[in-house]
Each structure stands twice: as C-alpha cells, then as structure tokens.
Amino acid sequence: MLRKLKKLVGLGEKKELYLRALKERDIKDVLSIEKQVYRYPWSDEIFKGCLHAGYSNWALIKDEKFIGYAILSLAAGEAHILNICVDPTRQGQGLGKQFLIELLGLFKEKNVDCVFLEVRPSNKVAINLYKRMGFKQIGERKGYYPAEDGKEDALVLSYDLG
C-alpha cells in the first residue's frame, strides 16, 4: 500500500514524499534510525514482532530514501502510536508534522475516534509538536521508560478525531 502525502515538502523544489507499508526488509533502516534517536532503542526482535503481529506499520519515504517509520495499534475505534520516528538528519524540516498529519488522515479513514501515545517528559521537541497538532495530556505513567537513573515517567496524550 502506498499513500502519497497531500503536501509535497521541499525548499523551492518539489520532492516526492509518501508513506508505504513497512516491510521486514526495512528493519535495518528502522534500527539505524532508532539507535541514532533513542538512548534505549527497540530491538530488531521487537520490530519484527510488530510486523508479524499485524500492527499498522508505515515507512516514510522521501526521494526514494527511507527516512522514518511508525508502529501503530488500531482496534475498537482507537489508535495507539507505539513508535514514530524521523531520521535525525531530516528533523527540523516539517517532515515529522507531515508524517503525523498523514497518519491522522489514515486513522480517520479507519474510523478511529481517539488516538493515544506516550512520550517522555524530556522529549520537549516531540511534546511541542504533539501539542501544536492538538494532542492533550490526559495522564501520566510512572516509571514507564528506562533511564540512566532508573526510570522516567511517560506523559499520556490523546487526540480526538470524533
């Protein structure tokens, strides 16, 4: 499945940007980005498990290069963004926002009413993006993430599509 993004992103020139289903052959690229961005990255076994478990898994492609991924759980009118990431060399260009906009459109097509995600309080860039997009904090999970000094809490955010 291929989803062309409604808005093409580029500085003065049009660049092809689209979503496609994440495939097992993408795991190497996923892990490369994951290890650059996260201090406690998911393993290849976790990503392969997500592919085989039937989650909704997407690759973000720009100019035929793999630049991001999302692992999503969809059930009973709800979506949970389990992992979403853009290559750190491509961050700051509005691609994360475009990715999120497209995923929200996908959720709407799938009759999702509410989207949930967890984010580290220390991830200020992500929190600012989510809040600008209309996500609201609805809770907190104590000791959710591994951290150097033990555990870090998670902020629980939601977005109403209804």
User: 92-119 pLDDT, tens per residue?
Assistant: 999 999 999 999 999 999 999 999 999 9
For residue 4, what are the CA distances in angstroms to 7, 8, 48, 105, 121? 9, 9, 25, 12, 32
Active site residues: 118, 130
Confidence label for 16 from pLDDT (cuts 50, 70 and 90): confident
What kind of fold does domain 14-160 have according to CATH?
Aminopeptidase (3.40.630)
Q: What contacts 47, CB < 8 A, 6 or more positions away?
A: 27, 30, 31, 34, 71
Residue 11 has pLDDT above 70, yes or no: no
- For the entire predicted model, the pTM comes to 0.87
- Which residue ranges make up each domain of the chain? 14-160
